[in-house]
Amino acid sequence: MKDLIKYKKYLGTVHFSAEDEVFYGKIEGVDDLVSFEGKTVEELKQAFIEAVEDYEELCVQTGKSGEKSYKGSFNVRIAPELHRQAARISMELGISLNQLIEKAIREMVSNAH
């Protein structure tokens, strides 16, 4: 697991600044920049919760969904040999490479939760 904290449906990245002696982070998966910080882990967690609550309230007031919008398409860079193997498997299964990749991602996401 990476340096993440969770509250409700939100994930926050966590970092430490040795220079400022503070933990800091931002809410991921939203279209806005929402940051938080704390001197201790407990302060950081509380600041994250407050940032989420404030963000949800702002979304209600402005009519925003609160979640980042995704197009459903993205570029993937993989090793050429893996690309060749995936293309071959998709041909053998009679599906497109996109369908194969979507199936692999769907299985990974399903198994992660």
Domain locations in the chain? Answer: 4-62, 80-112
C-alpha torsion 76→79→81→84, nearest 10: 10
Radius of gyration of the chain (CA): 19
Q: Is the pTM of this model over 0.75?
A: no
Q: What is the mean pLDDT of residues 60-71?
A: 88
Q: What is the mean pLDDT of residues 22-47?
A: 95
The pLDDT of residue 81 is: 96
Q: What is the mean pLDDT of residues 81-107?
A: 95
Segment 18-31, tens digit of pLDDT: 999 999 999 999 98
Residue 55 has pLDDT above 90, yes or no: yes
Residue 26 and residue 45: Cα distance in Å, rounded? 12
Residue 86 and residue 75: Cα distance in Å, rounded? 15
The token duo for 105 is 């991602």
Residue 82: band (very low, low, confident or very high) from pLDDT cuts 50, 70, 90: very high
Encode 31-48: b = buried (16+ Cβ within 10 Å), e = exposed.
eeebebbbeeeeebbebb
The pLDDT of residue 66 is: 82
Residue 1 has pLDDT above 70, yes or no: no
